[in-house]
Amino acid sequence: MDKNQEYWRPSASLKTLQQRAQILERIRKYFTSQGVLEVETPLLASATIPDPNIPSFTLHNSDTDSPSRKGQLYLNTSPEFSMKRLLAAGSGPIFQVCKAFRQGEQGSLHNPEFTLLEWYRPGYDHQRLMNEVADLVNTLATGYRQFKGEERITYGQCFQQYLGVDPFVADITQLQELARDEGIGDIPGLTDSDRDGWLDLLMGHCIQPQLGKDRLTFVYDYPASQAALARLKAGSTPAVAERFELFVDGVELANGFHELKNMEEQKSRFENDMKKRKTLGLKPVAIDHYLLDALASGIPDCAGVAVGLDRLQLVLAGASRLDEVMAFPFNRV
């Protein structure tokens, strides 16, 4: 029988699918018990994140009576923008389990369509949210896996501990030499002026695989240039963002922020991302003015986090590929 004829079958086992159902049940029980509202927001959007490192799926929309909706539509890379609009409207603490889409991401730990758990906590900062992330992950892991505690380490400490370099003062030449010493110096598209690109390369290839060995490892205080939608830490030298990521077994599971509230600053970041897209020869995208309007109207001081549920199940199940925990990965749709 042709192997392709078996692709109608799910790639995940029935046991794994049952585990997914139990994880979803535990998530809802966890947040409901704490008065966190479950919400749903659209997968389609008229705008998307301009970050050139997060490629969006685009759709051409011509069948509409609304002139404002003709042209390009996007599949959400995350529900973040819509959820912040809910926060600005007075929703209070909210969570969502939904599909998200990123074009061109496919591999053992990537699938163009994936499942996110995202939640926002008014009154929390990123440090307090890390506590809740750890509590939730340990709750979801019950009966599947037990972690050997938790550690928190700054971005700068990671580079000093594993590579012996200060990422805030090293110049691009030093970073390039270090990458070449590690055998990863020749990366197509990575330019001599892209300092954050070289930092990301070293982080992903040299540091990340060593993080979270049988434990929850939170990395925080990322460079201000990698703030994304996080606020900057007041008075910090060097300037750092109030952002964290969670790693287990070298796998990134979560990305969280003490959320930026300033509309003008967010608009400026979007504009800088658009300039980067132009420099890289990427097409411009529509900026989400609904989000900017929501920020202008005022959102509560809050922290938010996105957890990749497919990856989380992967580490709980002891799997090595997302195919093992997804019913129908990209090669079966």
What CATH number did the domain enclosing 137 receive? 3.30.930.10
Q: Is residue 7 situated within a structural domain?
A: yes
Q: Is residue 295 situated within a structural domain?
A: yes
pLDDT score, position 60:
78
Q: Is residue 141 situated within a structural domain?
A: yes
Q: What is the mean pLDDT of each run of 10 residues along the chain (333 residues)?
A: 75 96 98 98 95 91 58 92 98 98 89 97 98 98 96 98 96 93 82 91 97 97 97 96 98 98 97 93 93 98 98 97 96 92
What is d(CA 249, CA 153) in angstroms, rounded to the nearest whole number? 15
pLDDT score, position 1:
44
Spatial contact of 48 and 286, defined as CB atoms under 8 Å apart: yes
Question: Domain range spanning residue 253?
Answer: 3-148+214-332
20: its two tokens: 């997914």
> Residue written as tokens 């007075």?
90
What is d(CA 74, CA 239) in angstroms, rounded to the nearest whole number? 33
pTM: 0.94
Beta-bridge mates of residue 305: 119, 256
CA-angle at 55, arms to 52 and 58, nearest 5°: 125
Q: Is residue 323 situated within a structural domain?
A: yes
For the chain, what is the domain count?
1
Query: By C-alpha distance, which of 101, 319, 132 is closest to 244?
Result: 132
Q: Is residue 43 situated within a structural domain?
A: yes
Instruction: Say which residues have a Cβ less than 8 Å from residue 121's Cβ, sequence separation at least 6.
Output: 36, 93, 128, 129, 132, 302, 303, 304
329: its two tokens: 């990965």
Q: Is residue 107 situated within a structural domain?
A: yes
- Indicate the DSSP class of residue 205: I
pLDDT score, position 56:
94
**How do beta strands 216-223 and 150-154 pair?**
parallel
Query: By C-alpha distance, which of 236, 229, 10, 258 is closest to 123?
Result: 258
Q: Is residue 209 situated within a structural domain?
A: no
Q: Is residue 247 situated within a structural domain?
A: yes
DSSP string, 266-308: HHHHHHHHHHHHHHTTPPP----HHHHHHHHH---SEEEEEEE
What is d(CA 299, CA 89) in angstroms, rounded to the nearest whole number? 8
